[in-house]
């Protein structure tokens, strides 16, 4: 090694205020880190486990209630559809349901709720699908009932008027036939 090499190395050192060169030593920089004790970690894990167990318990309770509600919804929907079927059968009516009200696929040409309580979808290709109304999802049943109920109310009013007219006729006939019967048979006084 020649003598100029240490001088070159000395030139690369930073100079101090008085102009002399000072050798710098890089010290590692330590950042304060809070080390948790083993018991704090254990408590944290226990707390997480307890929270997860509570969440599972809550989910289980909600699922149980959900199951009860779904069972009740299906029972009520079935009873409602049976009642609608009985009314429609007695009145001898069926109803057209606009496909747009059911949000059915676009290739459905026509939808009918018949007097047997079956909802029938007629497709553009000539196919048809029919099932009892209660077998469809609740959203479809509600959409159908939203259309049917006002129409059914009108049909019931018309049917009531028709029955009232028949009753009036039967009353008149009864009175007239009694009078005729008295005249034909004669009265026993």
Is 111's pLDDT higher than 80?
A: yes
CB burial readout 160-182, b (16+ within 10 A) else e = eeeeeeeeeeeeeeeeeeeeeee
Q: What is the pLDDT of residue 28?
A: 57
Query: Does 82 map to a domain?
Result: yes
Q: What is the pLDDT of residue 97?
A: 93
Q: Which domain holds residue 65?
A: 47-166
CA angle at 114 for the pair 112 and 116, rounded to the nearest 5° = 150
Query: Does 90 map to a domain?
Result: yes
Is 3's pLDDT higher than 80?
A: no
Is 131's pLDDT higher than 70?
A: yes
Residues 161-172 have a mean pLDDT of 96
Query: Does 31 map to a domain?
Result: no
Count of domains for the chain: 1
Give this prediction's pTM.
Answer: 0.63
Residues 118-124 have a mean pLDDT of 92
Mean pLDDT lowest for which of 10-24, 55-69, 125-139, 169-183? 10-24
Query: Does 29 map to a domain?
Result: no
């Amino acid at each position: 090694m020649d003598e100029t090499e240490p001088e070159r190395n000395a030139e690369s050192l930073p100079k101090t205020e008085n102009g002399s060169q000072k050798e710098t030593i890089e010290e590692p920089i330590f950042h304060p880190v809070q080390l948790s004790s083993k018991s704090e970690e254990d408590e944290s894990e226990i707390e997480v486990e307890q929270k997860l167990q509570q969440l599972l318990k809550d989910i289980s309770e909600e699922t149980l209630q959900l199951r009860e509600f779904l069972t009740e919804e299906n029972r009520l929907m079935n009873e409602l559809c049976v009642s609608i079927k009985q009314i429609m059968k007695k009145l001898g009516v069926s109803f057209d349901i606009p496909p747009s009200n059911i949000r059915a696929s676009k290739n459905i040409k026509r939808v009918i709720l018949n007097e047997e309580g079956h909802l029938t979808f007629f497709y553009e290709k000539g196919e048809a699908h029919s099932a009892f109304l209660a077998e469809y999802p609740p959203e479809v049943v509600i959409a159908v009932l939203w259309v049917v109920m006002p129409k059914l109310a009108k049909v019931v009013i018309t049917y009531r008027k028709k029955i009232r007219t028949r009753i009036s006729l039967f009353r008149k006939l009864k009175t007239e036939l009694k009078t005729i019967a008295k005249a034909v048979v004669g009265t026993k006084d």
